[in-house]
């Protein structure tokens, strides 16, 4: 493990899938990590145990990011547990509720916008205050290829992810002078619970002809969080086997 960090990292939706891989990667780089989850306490605790077994520090934190109070709750808990500011925020938690636009219900629309866009906005707003004081920080938003190009049946998800990309770019230019970077990663088809029901025939549309792994997404996040990425901000890094090319 690398040197002691002067801050901690928060990864939302880290009980499984891409978020769990990101949390493990950041812990390997020496970040004490908050493992946020909504319902899967066993998954979150398994990620914490794995990180601790490898000599890292982690804490499971329940909160629904769609809840307006979640940002304060999560940051206060992490700041007190690790006695340090949160200097890395990875907005990873996300859901999809697919239907074609003529049948898409208000509930499905609101659930996806609240979780995938409003939650990351509130977390970003809360994260920036201590980052501005520290003149240091990294925010990485997990968007999607669907925020860049159309996919039938996902108007709510596409609107949320395209909005997340626009939020990323705007926040990035607002804080660039203060040593803080804000970037997005846009995964394509990644093998997780979210894509478990999707027909593998669709893989023929992916130039790489295979799904990606959560670790391949985590490697990009790890780079954007690293000191080496200090001049990368407002960027959208596609991790999609060529799907958006």
Footprint on this chain of ligand NDP (rule: CB under 6 A):
12-19, 36-40, 43, 64-66, 92-95, 115, 142, 144, 187, 189-190, 192-195
Nearer to ligand NDP, 175 or 186 (CB): 186
Min CB(28)–ligand NDP separation in Å? 18
Q: Minimum distance from CB of 214 to ligand NDP (Å)?
A: 6
Query: Which element (helix H / strand E) includes 89?
Result: strand 86-91
Buried b / exposed e across 17-28, counting CB within 10 Å, b at 16+? bbbbbbbbbbbb
Region at 139 (left for phi over 0; alpha for psi -120 to 50; beta for the rest)? beta
Minimum distance of ligand NDP from residue 69's CB (angstroms): 12
CB of 161 to ligand NDP, least distance (A): 7
For ligand NDP, the closer CB: 43 or 136: 43
135/37 Cα distance (integer angstroms): 28
Q: For 208-224, give the DSSP string.
A: TSS-B-HHHHHHHHHHH
* Residue with Cβ nearer ligand NDP (131 or 145): 145
Distance of alpha carbon 27 from alpha carbon 20, whole angstroms: 11
Token output for 214: 């959560």
Give the nearer residue to ligand NDP in terms of CB position, either 26 or 190. Answer: 190
37 is known as an active-site residue: no
Q: Which of 75, 157, 167, 237 is catalytic?
A: 157
> Among all residues, which ones are annotated catalytic?
157
């Amino acid at each position: 493990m690398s040197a002691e960090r002067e801050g901690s990292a928060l990864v939302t939706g880290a009980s499984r899938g891409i978020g769990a891989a990101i949390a493990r990667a950041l812990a390997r780089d020496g970040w004490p990590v908050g493992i946020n989850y909504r319902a899967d306490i066993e998954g979150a605790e398994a990620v914490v145990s794995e990180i601790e077994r490898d000599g890292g520090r982690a804490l499971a934190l329940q909160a629904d990011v769609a809840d307006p109070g979640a940002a304060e709750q999560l940051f206060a808990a992490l700041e007190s547990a690790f006695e340090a500011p949160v200097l890395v925020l990875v907005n990873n938690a996300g859901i999809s509720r697919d239907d074609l636009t003529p049948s898409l219900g208000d509930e499905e629309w609101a659930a996806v916008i609240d979780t995938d866009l409003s939650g990351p906005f509130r977390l970003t707003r809360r994260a920036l205050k201590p980052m501005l004081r520290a003149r240091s920080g990294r925010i990485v938003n997990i968007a999607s290829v669907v925020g860049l190009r159309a996919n039938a049946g996902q108007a709510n998800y596409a609107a949320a992810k395209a909005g997340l990309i626009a939020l990323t770019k705007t926040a990035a230019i607002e804080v660039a002078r203060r040593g803080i970077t804000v970037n997005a990663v846009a995964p394509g088809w990644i093998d997780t619970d979210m894509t478990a029901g999707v027909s593998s025939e669709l893989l023929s549309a992916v130039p790489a002809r295979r799904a990606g792994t959560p670790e391949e997404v985590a490697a990009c996040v790890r780079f954007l969080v690293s000191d080496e990425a200090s001049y990368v901000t407002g960027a959208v890094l596609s991790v999609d086997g060529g799907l958006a090319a």
